[in-house]
Chains A and B, each alone.
Chain A
């Protein structure tokens, strides 16, 4: 089979899985729905491997395949077809997405077992993976936009999965609104590109833009900025990041899948995919680099003070995507995508560990209530620590190579990019600190009652409550259900976490500077026309960067050790001392308030004014009221004639007929 046939299969499996689960939910009992969904995604993964095998059979220059299923519309100068593009970049994304998704599906099989909406959940999850793969494989801007919007819808469905929880539905709406904002940006960008280049498919757009635009052409920069709006909304970059932390209202595997491993990296993929445009409009790329750096600093600082376990990891995700955006924005595509892959491994792993801990805590998510789980949950402890080490950039783990690769490329650009790199190094230290803040506070210290209970072989239960507001809620909505599971006891969860932990350790091996360049070589056919492909930091510079990165990471971990293990309680004193800073960080730099004041409240005020002034006074009073008044006045005479008495009408009729007759008689004589 050819690579494109495999490409269609990659899409077909999740679509089939979704259909079966969505339509057959009444017939499917027990864990069957979960297994069907997992098998579907695994089928996708195998198809991606098949495509990989086929692609590697071809010569390097012939590794870009396109295929179309049918044509939607074809007129002069416009052709819209359901087409896919299988090239090293899209295949790489397919492998990461379907591979990590398989493991997360496997984890969910056990994790959500006691949930009422088991089948619905897996239908949504398959739908999400289908949308994501459609986005990745899209052969033209049209299909990309379709996939892009599908992904937003899937994210909405999954965040609001526990739809009786008010905070969850609000978070889903927020995510959807911000994502649609991004969709609009992307659509405008696509329009600009189409009107200038007359093409929709990738090759045509790139070819056309090369002829139509000069470097930093105004229209091209505008189109790129619009594409960036889409990318930033999807990838939770400033100032469109606020939805991601709220999206933690969804089930934890959803946070792992959508809000850490796959969906949020779509923006990074988009920038990498449209790299010829950004190379022609370096001004837009610089905007992306600056926003990426600002985001990674901002999110890392917020992750220092947040106490909700899942939200710490969420802010860490925002921060790490900032690194990826920085990477692809300084034209270090290999490095950015490498970090995308390793991040998918260790961040999904961290979320799975968090799910396990929250399960053991009976649904409580605040790390203030956790502690001492090391002995109660050794497996979770080991895997979570591996994830945290990889995130911190501990030497030889995957995050170590990928993050420092990005920073080495940034430094290599010279000029003011050095400032960005230095800031990113600072944030790397912060990252190591907050990673181990989680580890030390959750697993070390005095065991909390829940941990003791677990050591005694029993899982803690609490009255079901909303983890954000503390309000009591139904048992059949929201985690944990009456029967919940944790990683220690369920083999599907253990397999998923173990595999990801192994990948988080060895994932860096595909791109060790000077030794292996598997990933870069593999991706080269997609980026071979890049003007910056030769700009590569020397091995010495890269090893220098690795050494600095390792030093910073270990320092961060050491500081966390000092503060949380050696001198517990010290952090409280620090918090008192820097009350203002702490509050500022805890309120997330007041972004929500800022957006509220800048957009939500004016919009609401405008709506209120519209309702009270325009609608009730102008429309109801003047236009509608005036029109009815005029008609009423004009017809008052006619209305008095309408007495409603049949006989009066008849009399009028006869009188009229009589008068007419009289008239004709007089006129005739």
Chain B
């Protein structure tokens, strides 16, 4: 199968994820969408790896998964913390860094 198909799927998933990050206000969903974007990247990496016939891309994808797992841990921890402190679970409400 042509590598273009995989890249089209990957681009689609990435755009869905990016749209989710941009439009959703619930941090849990934002996190989910981030995962989508990361995995879209993974898919692209693996596709290119197969195209070139080298294993480097796959190793890269594995590392991205590890990083993604870490990121989820931190992100979920933040969200749990927000619940505990009874803060509104809304990314727009957290705008203290306004200059």
Contact = CB atoms under 8 A, between A and B. Distances in A.
Interface stretch (A186-194, A207-215, A278-286, A641-649): A641-649
A646 B82 CA distance: 16
Contacts of A647: 21-23, 25, 91-92
Contact of A642 (B23, B25, B91, B99): B99
Given A650-B21, A650-B22, A654-B18, A642 B92 contact: no
Interface residues of A, number: 14
Interface string A630-669: 0000010011111111110011001000000000000000
Interface string B16-50: 00100111010000100000000000000000000
Interface in B80-99: 91-92, 94-99
Contact of B99 (A641, A646, A651): A641
Contact of B97 (A635, A638, A644): A644
A269 B98 CA distance: 71
Interface string A329-360: 00000000000000000000000000000000
Interface size bracket, B side: 10 to 19
Contact of A638 (B23, B25, B30, B99): B99
A617 B94 CA distance: 38
Nearest to B94: A646
Contacts of B25: 647
A645 B91 CA distance: 7
Contact of B22 (A635, A644, A651): A651
Contact of B91 (A638, A646, A651, A654): A646
Contacts of A645: 91-92, 95
Q: Which of A639, A640, A642, A645 has the most B CB atoms < 10 Å from its CB?
A: A645
Nearest to A638: B99
A644 B96 contact: yes
Counting chain B CB atoms within 10 Å of each CB, the highest count among A635, A638, A646, A650 belongs to: A646
A456 B73 CA distance: 90
Contacts of A651: 22
A532 B79 CA distance: 93
Contacts of B99: 635, 638-644
Nearest to A639: B99
A641 B98 CA distance: 8
Contacts of A642: 97-99
B22 A654 contact: yes
A187 to B, nearest CB: 54
A647 to B, nearest CB: 6
Interface in B1-18: 18
A643 B98 contact: yes
A644 B90 CA distance: 13
A654 B19 CA distance: 10
A361 B91 CA distance: 80
Contacts of A646: 30, 91-92, 94
A638 B94 CA distance: 19
A642 B91 CA distance: 15
B29 to A, nearest CB: 12
Nearest to A635: B99
Interface in B43-94: 91-92, 94
A508 to B, nearest CB: 86
A650 B22 CA distance: 7
6 contacts: A638-B99, A642-B97, A642-B98, A643-B98, A646-B91, A654-B22
Interface of A: 635, 638-647, 650-651, 654
Given A644-B94, A646-B30, 14 more contacts: A640-B99, A642-B97, A643-B95, A643-B98, A644-B99, A645-B91, A645-B95, A647-B22, A647-B91, A647-B92, A650-B18, A650-B22, A654-B18, A654-B22
In the complex, the 6 A-B pairs of residues with the closest C-beta atoms, listed nearest first: A644-B95, A644-B98, A639-B99, A642-B99, A646-B91, A644-B97
